[in-house]
Every structure is written in C-alpha cells, then in structure tokens.
Structure 1
Amino acid sequence: MRPLRADARDNRVRILTAAEEVFGRSPNASTDEVAKLAEVGIATVFRHFPTKVDLLEAVLTLRLERLRDRAIELAGEDDAGAAFFAFFEQVVAEAASKLAVGDALIAAGAVVGDDAKQAGASMREAFGQLLERAKKSGQVRGDAEFPEVYALLIGASRGATAAGLTAEVRSRMLNLLFDGLRRR
C-alpha cells in the first residue's frame, strides 16, 4: 500500500477526529455529519473508509491505542499508585463516548475487527502492567488480580455511563472503589 499524500493524511486525521466527536455524542450519527464537521465531502470520507462500519472500527481502534499509549506513558511515572488510579479514572471518564462508538458498531451488526481487537489486547496488557507496578509499590492490595480489577474498570465505566453521573458523583464513586483497592 502506497503512503498517503500529505493532504490525504490530513483529511484522514480530520475525518477520524470528527468521527470520534460525532459518534461519541450519538451512536446513530451519520457519516454525512462526520463529513460536515471534518469539512470534507462525503466521497472523501468513503475513499478513506468505504463503510460506516470501517469508520467506526477505525475510531474505536484509535481510542484504544490512545488509552494504551497513555497507560505506557503513566508506567514511567515514579508514583505507581497515582499512575494506576489516574489511568483508571481516565478510562471511566471517557467511557461514555467510547461506549457510544461500540454501540454504533453493534447497531450496524458488525463484530469488532482484528485492528480493534489487537488495540484492545495491548491496552489491557498496559493496564495490567500499571496494576502490577501499583501492587509492587504497595499502593494497591496484593490480592487484587487482573481479572477482578479489569471487571471493576468495565463495571465502573458502564455504570457511570448508564447512570449519567456528573463528574463530581463519578469522582466520589471512584474514591469508594479505589478505597477498596488500596492496600490496608
């Protein structure tokens, strides 16, 4: 596959940025709305992403890769506990728009493709490394294993989204959850 010209790369970035915003607000949004926000024609959108499902998949993959990259960045912080809890909080705070993109994929009858699966797996791996560092530092309980903690992350994300929690209530919820994860 040939590298994209600079203008095509710029268009692709604008389309993905617009799609992330549009589909993050509403899973029923259209590609026309994406094209309008990206300030490109609908044909340009479909040149880069032949179907709405392709576009949604690319947005989901991008979000998961960004979270993975953030987790990797935080793994370099000196305070392993603060890094772990900051990442957990970020995932929950951003969950509503990520879940909207996932819901749009489901509504389109699509299954998650290989790129998104790989991005999700690498994000989970990076989260697991944050958890292990926080446990080793003594800031997270030693018996907090990945499957349970990841289930808490998913549950808190979905719960905060379903309940439409304000930032203040979400913060209090996370403080309660984090208190249960902290080493005593």
Structure 2
Amino acid sequence: MPEIRRADARRNYARILAVAEEEVAAHGAGASLEQIARTAQVGSATVRRHFPTRHALLEAVSRKRIDALHARARELAGTDDSRAALLEWLGDLVAYCVTARGLAAALAYDGAGADPVHGNSCAAALEVAAGPLLHRAVRDGAVAAEVTVADLITLAVGLALATEHHPDPAAASERLLRLTVAGLSPQG
C-alpha cells in the first residue's frame, strides 16, 4: 500500500508542477495556488503538502531555468575574456528573469534569513554556477574584488522587477544593465 501512495504522490507532484509552470508563465509569481489545485485536480492541501510556501513552488517552477543558467556558466568558463564571460552570463540571467515570469520572485531575497543567497535554493545554485566566472574575473582584475554573486543576483532581480511593466521589458532591462556596467560617467 505505501508504494501505491508514493506513486500517487509522485504523479500528483508532477501534475501540480506542470500546471504551476503554466500558471506562473501566464500570471507570474502571483499565480493562484487555488487555481493550480483546481486545474491539477487536487486539493489545496495537496498543493501545500508538496509546496509548503509560494516561494517553494516558484523555486520548483524555476528549476529548469536555473539548470540552463548553470550549464551556460560552465560553457562560458572556457572563454578567454573573463569579464566578457561574466557579463554575458549576467546578461543571460537578466534576460531569463525578465522573460521567465516568476524567476525574479524565486531569486528575490525575502528577508527570512540572514543570507540572501544560501537561504534560497535557486540563488544558491546560481552562486555555484557563477562563482567560478566571478572569481576568475576578479583574479584577472576585470571586476572589483568586492562584487559578490549575491550582488549580481540582486542586480538581475532588481532590473527584472523594475522593468516588468515596461512596454518592452527585455530592451529596457538590457539598456539598464549596460548603463550599470558602464557607469554613468561619459566615456572619454
């Protein structure tokens, strides 16, 4: 009997996650948990058993994007220009945050813990991914030593949230990222 319950629980989890991915894509981080339960044909308690918090649900929905960013960081680690590699990865992170509704919310520091990265599994996975890129850029003198992966994640989340209602959020966030990287001083 326990095997049947476990198999049923796995099917429920998969169905809830599939529905949640669609709902978050359509409605962002504020997607209705009750609507997810109805569409997945499970009770609200079943959704909450698998995903005790909205943040846990957003992290699960964002897992594929996080895995893709991790793979991209490994790919960029072999490039010669450490600054360009880091900035390209950061641009990818910003683009993902802008286009993947819910990802910025999944990465955002929620104040629950003292550490904005390690208290969040998505952000922690990105720290593992981007850490080598950042360390190499710092070692090469291409990025300031005080920059952290948490800073980069916070920047990406901020840009995504600041541009989410813009008519062209991708272009606006890309422009703001370029301004941030270049600084506000005229190039001379």
Q: Which band: TM-score by shorter chain? A: 0.5 to 0.7
Give unpaired runs (5+ residues) of structure 1. none
Q: For the structure 1 residues 100 and 123, does the alpha-carbon distance in structure 2 shift closer, same or farther, using more than 3 Å as the test?
A: closer
TM-score by length of 2: 0.61
Give 1:32 deviation, angstroms. 2.6
How far apart, in 1, do the equivalents of 2:50 and 2:70 lie?
A: 31
Is residue 98 of structure 1 aligned with residue 103 of structure 2?
yes
Measured in 1, the distance between the counterparts of 2:163 and 2:47 equals 36
| TM-score of the pair, normalised by structure 1 | 0.62
SS at match of 2:126: helix
**Is 1:13 aligned to 2:14, yes or no?**
yes
Q: Report 1:31-180 matches (<5 A).
A: 31-36=33-38, 39-43=39-43, 46-47=45-46, 49-50=48-49, 53-54=52-53, 56-60=55-59, 63=62, 66-67=65-66, 70-77=69-76, 78-79=78-79, 80-95=82-97, 97-100=102-105, 111=112, 117-136=120-139, 138=140, 141-147=142-148, 150-164=150-164, 165=166, 166-179=169-182
Structure with higher RCO (Cα < 8 A, 6+ apart): 1
Taking only aligned residues, the RMSD between alpha carbons, in angstroms, comes to: 4.0
Question: Unaligned 5+ residue runs, structure 2?
Answer: 184-188
Give the letter for the 1:42 counterpart.
V
Other structure's SS at 1:94 match? helix
